[in-house]
């Protein structure tokens, strides 16, 4: 039995310590906002924050997540208020199919925490998530929009 700090709550997860965090979040804890895309940490659909760092949860075993602060897409809004990236995503109308968006939002949130006013080059370097619909231009615009509200 592992005890995880997820979205500010202490949660128990009864799973094999080798189970990827992605599956513990989705299947054991019912937090399905984090998506499965590739399973090899390439696409970024499974991005969560671990101790504030955008991390691809499909490659993090449960044993390495215990004792760390984990934030999922469900934990970004505070008191029902979207964070500035989530709000910018809506204002710019970023998603098309939307499948990659929770991972994109998690990566963008971590980027702005590290670099409050990123350049296009810094955005391109940090946003390595794959979007099948090609919404990269809108992603960049939404990040600049959120950065302007800081």
CB atoms within 10 A of CB 32: 14
pLDDT at 147 over 80: yes
Q: Which residues contact 6 (CB under 8 A, 6 or more apart)?
A: 25, 29, 31, 70, 71, 72, 75
pLDDT at 55 over 90: yes
pTM to 2 decimals? 0.95
pLDDT at 150 over 70: no
Could you give the domains of the chain? Answer: 2-75 (3.10.20.30), 84-148 (1.10.150.120)
Bridge partners of 2, per DSSP, are 13
């Amino acid at each position: 039995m592992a005890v995880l700090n997820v979205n500010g709550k202490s949660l128990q997860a009864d799973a094999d310590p080798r189970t990827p965090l992605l599956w513990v979040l989705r299947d054991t804890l019912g937090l399905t906002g984090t998506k499965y895309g590739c399973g090899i940490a390439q696409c970024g659909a499974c991005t969560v924050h671990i101790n504030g760092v955008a991390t691809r949860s499909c490659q993090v075993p449960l044993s390495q997540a215990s004792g760390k602060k984990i934030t999922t897409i469900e934990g970004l809004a505070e008191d029902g208020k979207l964070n500035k990236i989530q709000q910018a995503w809506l204002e710019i109308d970023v998603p098309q199919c939307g499948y990659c968006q929770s991972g994109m939002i998690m990566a963008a949130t971590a980027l702005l925490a590290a670099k409050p006013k990123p350049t296009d080059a810094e955005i391109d370097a940090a946003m390595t998530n794959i979007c099948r619909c090609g919404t990269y231009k809108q992603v960049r615009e939404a990040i600049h929009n959120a950065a302007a509200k800081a």
